[in-house]
């Protein structure tokens, strides 16, 4: 069969600590592979910007560097997945907890699909702090200050990093060195997914 409709389902997860460069790489990899990028951080920031009820609840949590409740996040993702004609997604910053990972599996199974690969961008902690503080100057994100960054790192190590083992146990994990030029890292991700 020819045509877009026949394109196989593909679900790539881009994982890694705050400041690892997920957002930049997610956009590039999604375009190159014909995937729809879904960034839960961007979706939440859009709600905050639009002043929705969800945005009002999320803002304080995000500014503290804590995680927005799983049911809120899963609800947002479910709406996108169920509305999609094809299951071809690149997730940026999701899942971040074991509950989110389980919910994603169930959601995809309902559509006859599954996670294809999880890419973990590996960057040392001191480099992460340096990058996020630099980004604070350029973008002015309200959660890019030193106290919040430290909490986001702790939350990542405690809640999200264990998910790498979950995907590794399914032979779906690719760990990619996230230190280097943006182009170099993009190339490494493509190689890991090839």
Q: Shortest distance, CB of residue 5 to ligand ADP, whole angstroms? A: 29
Quick one: 61 or 107, whose CB is closer to ligand ADP? 61
Give the residue among 37, 39, 34, 32 at the shortest CA–CA distance from 5.
Answer: 34
Give residues in contact with ligand ADP (CB under 6 A). 18-19, 22, 40-41, 44, 61-62, 65-68, 73, 93-94, 96, 100, 143, 152
Do 38 and 80 contact (CB within 8 A), yes or no?
yes
Residue at shortest CB range from ligand ADP: 41
Minimum distance of ligand ADP from residue 8's CB (angstroms):
25
Q: How far is the CB of 22 from ligand ADP (least distance, A)?
A: 6
The values of phi and psi at residue 35, to 5°, are -110, 155
Q: Give, as one character, the DSSP assignment of residue 160.
A: I
Backbone dihedral region for residue 130 (phi beyond 0: left; psi -120 to 50: alpha; all else: beta): alpha
The answer to whether 141 is a known catalytic residue is yes
Place of tokens 């971040």: 96
Nearer to ligand ADP, 7 or 52 (CB): 52
Structure tokens that stand for 109 in this block: 């199974």
Return the biggest CA–CA distance within the chain. Answer: 53
Which among 86, 141, 150, 161 is annotated as catalytic?
141
Q: How near is the Cβ of 148 to ligand ADP at its closest, in Å? A: 8
Q: Catalytic: 57? A: no
Q: Please tell me which residue in 78, 135, 150, 172 is annotated as part of the active site.
A: 135
Would residue 78 show up in a list of annotated catalytic residues for this protein? no
131: left (phi over 0), alpha (psi -120 to 50) or beta: alpha
Is 22 assigned a catalytic role? Answer: yes
Our CB check for ligand ADP shows the closer of 158 and 191 to be 158
Query: How many Cα atoms within 13 Å fall on the side-chain side of residue 67?
Result: 23
Q: Which is nearer to ligand ADP, 7 or 124 (CB)?
A: 124
Active-site positions read: 22, 96, 135, 141, 152
């Amino acid at each position: 069969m020819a045509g877009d409709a026949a394109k196989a389902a593909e679900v790539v997860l881009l994982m890694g600590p705050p400041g690892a460069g997920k957002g930049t790489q997610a956009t590039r990899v999604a375009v190159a592979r014909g995937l729809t990028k879904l960034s839960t951080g961007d979706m939440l920031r859009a709600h905050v910007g639009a002043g929705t009820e969800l945005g009002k609840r999320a803002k304080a949590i995000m500014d503290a560097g804590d995680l927005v409740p799983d049911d809120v996040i899963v609800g947002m993702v479910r709406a996108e997945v169920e509305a999609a004609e094809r299951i071809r997604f690149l997730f940026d910053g999701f899942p971040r907890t074991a509950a989110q990972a389980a919910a994603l599996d169930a959601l995809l199974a309902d559509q006859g699909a599954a996670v294809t690969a999880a890419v973990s961008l590996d960057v040392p902690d001191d480099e992460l702090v340096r990058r996020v503080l630099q980004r604070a100057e350029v973008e002015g994100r309200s959660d890019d200050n030193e106290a919040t960054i430290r909490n986001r790192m702790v939350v990542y190590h405690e809640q999200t990093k264990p998910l790498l083992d979950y995907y590794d146990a399914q032979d779906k994990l690719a760990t990619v060195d996230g230190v280097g030029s943006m182009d170099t890292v993009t190339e490494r991700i493509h190689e890991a997914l090839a």
